[in-house]
């Protein structure tokens, strides 16, 4: 694995994830997902960076993904599974889960992850 590709594409992917999260959850769908006043932006940023490094690791170490279309496809699949995973666990203790918000969050997760995956793949392709 090329460590430089892993680090650079992971950082870029993390920033893209952070900005898209702000766009989707903070602007476009803020009525469906109201912000909690106790948000810790550092932890949100670190979570986004972790996701960027996860996708970068998978793309660089295991899959060798370095073109945009493959990155979008792989990112969308990761977003699908992570979206279901997160929503199932977040709603496990809810008496009446909001299925509409769950579906919307999964769709956002797919779109966000597809864009992050495409971005990481483009960066990987440029660094080769």
pLDDT of res. 36: 85
pLDDT tens-digit readout, 56-90: 999 999 999 999 999 999 999 999 999 999 999 99
77: domain range? 3-127
Q: Would you give the end-to-end CA distance of the chain in angstroms?
A: 12
Number of domains in the chain: 1
Joined together, the tokens standing for residue 91 give: 């709603």
Enumerate residue ranges in the chain where pLDDT < 50: none
Query: What does the pLDDT read at residue 24?
Result: 97
Positive or negative CA dihedral for 86, 35, 111, 3?
A: negative
Q: Looking at residue 35, what is its pLDDT?
A: 84
> Percent helix, strand, coil in the chain (nearest 5)?
80, 0, 20
Instruction: At 19, give phi and psi (nearest 5°).
Output: -65, -40
């Amino acid at each position: 694995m090329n460590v430089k590709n892993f680090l650079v594409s992971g950082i870029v992917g993390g920033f893209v994830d952070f900005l898209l999260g702000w766009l989707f959850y903070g602007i476009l769908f803020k009525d469906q997902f109201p912000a909690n006043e106790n948000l810790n932006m550092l932890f949100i940023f670190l979570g986004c960076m972790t996701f960027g490094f996860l996708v970068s690791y998978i793309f660089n170490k295991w899959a060798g993904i370095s073109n945009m279309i493959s990155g979008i496809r792989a990112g969308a699949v990761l977003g699908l599974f992570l979206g279901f995973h997160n929503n199932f666990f977040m709603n496990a203790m809810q008496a009446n889960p909001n299925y509409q918000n769950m579906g919307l969050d999964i769709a956002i997760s797919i779109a966000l992850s597809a864009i992050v995956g495409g971005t990481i793949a483009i960066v990987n392709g440029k660094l080769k």
